[in-house]
Amino acid sequence: MSPTRREALRQLSAVLALPLVRWPRPADDPLRGTIAQYQAGRLRGDYSAAEVTARALERARGANEWLRAVDQFAPTALAEARASDARLKRRALVGPLDGVPLFAKSIYDMTGLPTTASSAEWARLFPDAVPRDALEVQRLRAAGAVLLGKTAADDFAYRGNGTSSLSGQVRNPHDPAGLKTPGGSSAGSAVVVACGMAFAALGTDDGGSNRIPAQFTGVVGMKPSFGLVPRTGVIPTWPYLDTHGPLARTVADAALMLDAIAGPDASDALADRSRYTRGGLSVLRDDALQGARLGLVELHVPRAQMSAESLAVFDRAIADCTRAGAIVELFVPSVNRVDVRDQFAADAKRDGRVAPNHNAPAATANALLRYFAGHGGSAMEQLQRGHAAFRAFYDVLPTAWAAMAPLIAQPYEHDPASQSFARARSAIVAQLAASFRAKGIDAMVYPTMPFGAPAATDPWPDVRTTLGYGNWLGLPEVSVPAGHSASGMPAGNLSFVGLPGSDARLLALAHAYERQSQRFLAPPVLR
């Protein structure tokens, strides 16, 4: 349900009352500040949305030849900005994102642009503009946001390196040599916000695709609770893992974007059907860590394999939480990154169910059919046309088209292996909740990843991470910059991880940590 004008103005007033984050920001560059700072400047008449949007587009176009962070630019951005300026003149802004320049990831549908999926072959097979916006893009437009275009990613959002066959390797803006990976798959979304080309950007996360680039580029990345954000109009990955959320320079800006895109919709059969009230996610306090109980999961901190620099950054982050008033204590959750898969298998075996499968081919095949059904024409013909290109990455799908037919027809919410996975998740998360209650824990804390960005051409260190753990359990996670190495590269992010449905609490805790630590550092291009 759309907010009334009075409610929208109340939300905007609340946003503008937030404490301003104190970071370097020349008066003539609002794109380096927060959304609240930007809106305050507009209300003072310092600049217009059209002027700032033009600057964002100029910056993005100028840097894109080297950074390769943008997939496509939207031709409607300046018109949307001018429309927001007209609403401001009438005192009729529709909410805190009205007139705010944002990007979406290349796998999102956006009216008037083809959906390339950052794949050269997909772009060749589907060159025409799509006739709809993804639901999240629709919701951002309804909130008055200015959509600048779409960001580059790994092909079909399948890898974690930011390597696109269509536009090339996305570069990490903190590495002047251009050798380090920005992470992926939401590489371009992380880079555009780090570089002040937009305030926030949409990304997706099936196994770390928001959190990896957040750490490697030193920005805020969030994986919300599974189901909080419906995923209609986005090229699917694995329906029982796929989670969409924001990347931004600050927690407050990430919260505003998430608040705009969250809430149930019948078009996504796995979306959380709980009633959603806008505004709750973006109510943040600087003192939220005061008295909060944080569970430090040492099993998720592979100290023996972390560099001295990464470990020092993490330990300092924990000390920052303590200085902000948090009570940090060791916590042993009922399920951890080492035994999570075994617990899923054991739960199914106890009940005599089929083996749980988080990436069952039938679920992905049916999700693809539903995606194409929103484009008009024959969804089956379009799916057949794209099958080989998609299957080259999602190799769980059958190679032969004939073998796809029985998979496509079955609704993914009825797939036995996927149902078994969902039932195991529910049971294991209930046990995790009990362990939270037993210790009085508000959130778990541990490194988002235990190492910094390797070279884009090198293999990652052979160190287990918690990335898949969060997706398997559907847990919300906010990843916040924790510091940089002596060379200036981001050295680590601190993750705040909670039970499903605790997104607002996690955002509040992460915001309070951010205010205490203030570890964001703009890349060299903006210093």
Catalytic residue among 209, 225, 310, 502: 209
Q: What is the pLDDT of residue 525?
A: 72
The full 3-state SS of 270-335, as one line of letters, equals CCCCCCCCCCCCCCCCCCCCCCCEEEECHHHCCHHHCCHHHHHHHHHHHHHHHHCCCEEEECCCCC
Among residues 106, 118, 185, 186, the one annotated as catalytic is: 185
pLDDT by 10s per residue, the chain, length 527: 434 434 444 545 544 443 333 333 444 799 999 999 999 999 999 999 999 999 999 999 999 999 999 999 999 999 999 999 999 999 999 999 999 999 999 999 999 999 999 999 999 999 999 999 999 999 999 999 999 999 999 999 999 999 999 999 999 999 999 999 999 999 999 999 999 999 999 999 999 999 999 999 999 999 999 999 999 999 999 999 999 999 999 999 999 999 999 999 999 999 999 999 999 998 999 999 999 999 999 999 999 999 999 999 999 999 999 999 999 999 999 999 999 999 999 999 999 999 999 999 999 999 999 999 999 999 999 999 999 999 999 989 999 999 998 899 899 999 999 999 999 999 999 999 999 999 999 999 999 999 999 999 999 999 999 999 999 999 999 999 999 999 999 999 999 999 999 999 999 999 999 999 999 999 987 66
Is residue 297 within 8 Å of 258, Cβ to Cβ?
Answer: no
Of 48, 105, 118, 167, the active-site residue reads 105
pLDDT in tens, 87-128: 999 999 999 999 999 999 999 999 999 999 999 999 999 999
Range 115-118, long-range pairs (CB < 8 A, 24+ positions):
115/235, 116/71, 116/72, 116/150, 116/166, 117/153, 117/155, 117/156, 117/157, 117/235, 118/71, 118/152, 118/153, 118/154, 118/155, 118/156, 118/157, 118/164, 118/165, 118/166, 118/167
Backbone angles phi, psi at 302, to 5 degrees: -75, 75
For the question of residue 282 being annotated catalytic, the response is: no
Domains of the chain by residue range: 5-279+287-296+314-331+441-526
Q: Is 105 a catalytic residue?
A: yes
Question: Going by C-beta distance under 8 Å and a sequence separation of 6 or more, which residues neighbour residue 138?
Answer: 233
Q: Is 495 a catalytic residue?
A: no
CA 38, CA 15: separation in Å to the nearest integer? Answer: 11
Domain 5-279+287-296+314-331+441-526 CATH assignment equals 3.90.1300.10:
yes
